[in-house]
């Protein structure tokens, strides 16, 4: 199986304008916050489902299967988004240093 990181990671940041890099930083920060909130929500849903008398074993298996897929892919997606953010920040700093020289 291919690593989702390789699909998400950007290799063109050095060709972007400074404003485009700032947008990558902003969007990456928003994506990380949204993904963290989504994972927290899934955890809360799972906890509440376990305490429900109407929650069947079939429901539990289906939801556990979906959660396992989520937890397999999300860490690598988050890693790629964070790397994009850090690379964009580095590129902006590199440009500022080069411009000051």
Query: To the nearest whole percent, how much of the chain has pLDDT over 70?
Result: 99
The ranges assigned to domains in the chain are 18-100
| pTM score over 0.85 | no
CA–CA separation, 42 and 98 (whole Å): 45
In this prediction, residue 4 has a pLDDT band, given cuts at 50, 70 and 90, of confident
pLDDT at site 1: 57
CA–CA separation, 76 and 71 (whole Å): 9
pLDDT at site 38: 86
pLDDT at site 81: 94
Nearest to 90 by CA among 18, 28, 29, 26: 18
Total residues found in the chain within this entry: 101
pLDDT at site 46: 81
pLDDT at site 30: 92
CA–CA separation, 77 and 32 (whole Å): 9
Q: What is the pLDDT of residues 9-35, one digit of tens each?
A: 999 999 999 999 999 999 999 998 888
* Rg of the chain taking only CA atoms, in angstroms: 19
Across the range 72-84, mean pLDDT stands at 92
> What distances in angstroms separate CA 38 from CA 20, 29, 61, 71, 79, one per listed residue?
26, 14, 20, 11, 16
């Amino acid at each position: 199986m291919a690593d989702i990181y390789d699909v998400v990671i950007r290799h063109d940041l050095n060709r972007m304008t400074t404003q485009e890099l700032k947008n990558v930083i902003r969007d990456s920060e928003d994506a990380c916050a949204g993904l963290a909130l989504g994972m927290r929500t899934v955890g809360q849903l799972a906890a509440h489902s376990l305490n429900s008398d109407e929650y069947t074993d079939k429901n539990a298996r289906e939801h556990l299967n979906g959660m396992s897929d989520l937890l397999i892919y999300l860490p690598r997606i988050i890693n790629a988004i964070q790397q994009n953010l850090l690379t964009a920040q580095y590129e902006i700093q590199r440009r500022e240093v080069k411009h000051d020289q």
